[in-house]
Structure 1
Amino acid sequence: MFLGLDADGVAHFTAMVAADSGLPGSAVNARAAAQMFGDNRAAIIAHARALLGWHAHNRFCARCGAPSQPMRGGAMRTCSNPDCATQHFPRVDPVVIMLAVDGDRCLLGRQAQFPPAMYSALAGFVEPGESIEEAVAREVAEEAGIGVANVRYVASQPWPFASSLMIGCIADATTTDVRIDPDELEDARWFSRAEVRDALRKEGPLKVPPSIALANTLLRHWA
């Protein structure tokens, strides 16, 4: 699959191979690999991971069910049925990730699979027919029982697990009593700005996501 040209005009490609393919080096999880690089190679890894994942999960036409074939270097797939010939393109799923803030504190939650003491910003997929602001308000209300207003966009990040676009926001809390949805979160609580600053310095009991994650960017922006 063709990824594109770098600044020097060198073409970059990606391919799906087995971990024991005999290639030099060793297989590394894509998240771990992205954290090894501080330059644009992390973005190349994300692009490759998302593109390969899309091709692996879209081998058949969603319209008629016939096998589809990669075309244009992997930028699209075309149905092999000549009576259909539908063209399919990689999709991106929008996800809101947000901090609800109340003065000098912010709301963070944790899922059961998180490492011990780690908390992060709440997040969820945008539903069809929903604005970003509406998605932020709905997700915070569903997961933690908190009402919010004055939603502000901060930053975005492609997240190729599987193929999401994370849309980072901050919103003002209009209520403060936390009532978690146990199907979504193990815990959610308010943390002070001082606690968040300590966590970003890797000090204190609170742990937060690494710098590669948009949640970390949101926390740094607020703190």
Structure 2
Amino acid sequence: MERTPLPRPNTFAGLSLILDRVAERRDESMWVNELATSERARYLLLDPLGQTYLQPDRDALRWLDAREREQRLGELKASFLGFAGEQPHFLLALDDSEQAAELESLLNARRANLREVGLQLAADEAGLFAYGKGLAHWQRETRFCARCGAPVVLVASGHRAQCTNNDCGRMHFPRTDAAVIVIVEHEGACLLGRQAGWPKGRYSTLAGFVEPGEALEDAVRREVAEESGVIVGDVHYHSSQPWPLPQSLMVGFTATAVSRTIRLRDHELEEARWFTPQEIVDGLADGSFLPSLPLSVSYHLLAHWLQQRAGLDLDALVAQHTR
């Protein structure tokens, strides 16, 4: 496919425009501690399920300041996220469900997960929520050394975990699982698939995890062939999206198929089929077609393809038929 400007950033992407992670200073504990007690500090609070706390009357994060942190959670270790403007931002991840419920009342807040409010939050807050959720998940999952089994301790302001066994001392880093997701086209139609457990009529672009020793483009070709039997030729990078549900990075591509031959080869997909832009318009109109949720890069891949191929606005089409 020829390259054209992307319609808008993917959800959770673009955080570097507002946040300096200051990764090179995470080991400076005295400096980080000074930031943590400053009047400018803000704390993102997550419960044991990875939900965050919101304002009671609007879709905005309920940040804690340093005073509230000291009063309510002074013993809980914070992770440094970085600077947004002149404000240092930190993460507080709760392990106690009862404490999490109590804080909801004490803070006059409500809790929600990333899927629920990812599109309702301002883009910077959605990105910070996704960042904090991904980091907190890794911290919860990394309690013991994968080499020797000894406990680990968090260092580098929460961004590394070090084995406590002096004979090992292995350093563990936050894990992100790379996955490819692709919109495949052939002569004016795009390939979409659906899983059996999805809502009736929902179709999505194809996706899968990257395997060891595999280039991203090769992962695209393999996944499409495994899931649909379609053989892909040219593959081009489109955009990416952090997807901390729980710990993935979705790397989006466009690709061109050699032919339209479909042979479902495994049980992951219930159906795979080709859609022209007009078939998508008609399906949205009669309810037989549902795109992926706008939260996902899959939706953006389809939206970009429809705009590029037929001058159609997927947001407007969806709004028109979901009133």
- What TM-score, normalized to structure 2? 0.65
SS at the partner of 1:40?
helix
Instruction: Tell me what 2:86 maps to.
Output: 8
- Out of 251, 257, 264, the position equivalent to 1:173 is 257
**1:14-57 Cα deviation digits (max 9, x unpaired):** 31352524323222122112122142111111111111111111
Residue in 2 that maps onto 1:211: 294
Q: Alpha-carbon deviation of 1:210?
A: 2.3
Match 2:243 to one of 150, 159, 167: 159
Deviation at 1:113, TM superposition (A): 2.5
Rounded to whole Å, the distance in 2 between the matches of 1:197 and 1:142 is: 28
**For 1:163-218, what per-residue CA distance to the aligned partner results, in whole angstroms no more than 9, with x for missing partners?**
1111111111112121223421111111111234567xx64431111222100111
Q: Percent identity?
A: 40
Instruction: Say if 1:153 and 1:170, in contact at 8 Å, map to a contact too.
Output: yes
**Partner in structure 2 of residue 222 of structure 1:** 305
Superposition pairs of residues 72-87 of structure 1, within 5 angstroms: 72-87=156-171
Report whether the alignment pairs 1:70 with 2:154. Answer: yes
- 2:101 is aligned, of 8, 20, 27, to 20
- One-letter code aligned to 1:2: F
CA, structure 1 residues 159+198, in 2 after alignment: closer, same or farther (shift >3 Å)?
farther
Distance, in Å, in 2 between the alignment partners of 1:7 and 1:107 is 43
Task: Report the alpha carbon displacement of residue 9 of structure 1 after superposing the two structures with TM.
Answer: 2.3
Q: Distance in 1 between matches of 2:141 and 2:226?
A: 30
CA distance in 2, matches of 1:9, 1:29: 24
Instruction: Please name the residue that 1:36 is paired with.
Output: 120
Q: Which amino acid aligns with 1:11?
A: H
Inter-partner Cα distance in structure 2 for 1:8 and 1:147: 51
Task: Map 1:100-139 to 2 at 5 A.
Answer: 100-139=184-223
User: Structure 1 residues 181 and 25 mapped into 2: Cα distance closer, same or farther (>3 Å)?
Assistant: farther
- Divergent runs of 4+, >3 A: 195-199
Distance 1:181 1:161 in 2: 27
Aligned length: 221
Over 3 Å counting, the alpha-carbon distance change for 1:152 and 1:39 in structure 2 is same
Q: Which moved more, 1:109-118 or 1:51-60?
A: 109-118
CA 1:150 to 1:2, structure 2 compared with 1: closer, same or farther past 3 Å? same
Asked whether the equivalents of residues 226 and 266 of structure 2 are also in contact (C-alpha less than 8 Å), the reply is: no
Q: Cα RMSD over matched residues? A: 1.7
Flag structure 2 segments of 5+ consecutive residues without an equivalent.
1-78, 307-323
**How far apart, in 1, do the equivalents of 2:280 and 2:154 lie?**
46
Report the CA distance between 1:126 and its aligned residue.
Answer: 0.8
Structure 1: tracts of 5 or more residues without a match: none
Q: What one-letter code is carried by the residue in structure 1 that aligns with 2:162?
A: T
The separation in 2 between residues aligned to 1:182 and 1:25, in whole angstroms, is 45
- Compare CA radii of gyration and give the structure with the larger one: 2
Give the Cα–Cα distance (whole angstroms) in 1 for the partners of residues 255 and 240 of structure 2: 15
Q: Does the CA-based 8 Å contact 1:95-1:167 persist in structure 2?
A: yes
**SS of aligned partner of 1:27:** strand
Tell me the SS of whatever aligns to 1:114: coil
Q: Contact (CA 8 Å) 1:6, 1:12: kept in 2 or not?
A: no
DSSP 3-state at the match of 1:98: strand
Structure whose residues are more often helix by fraction: 2
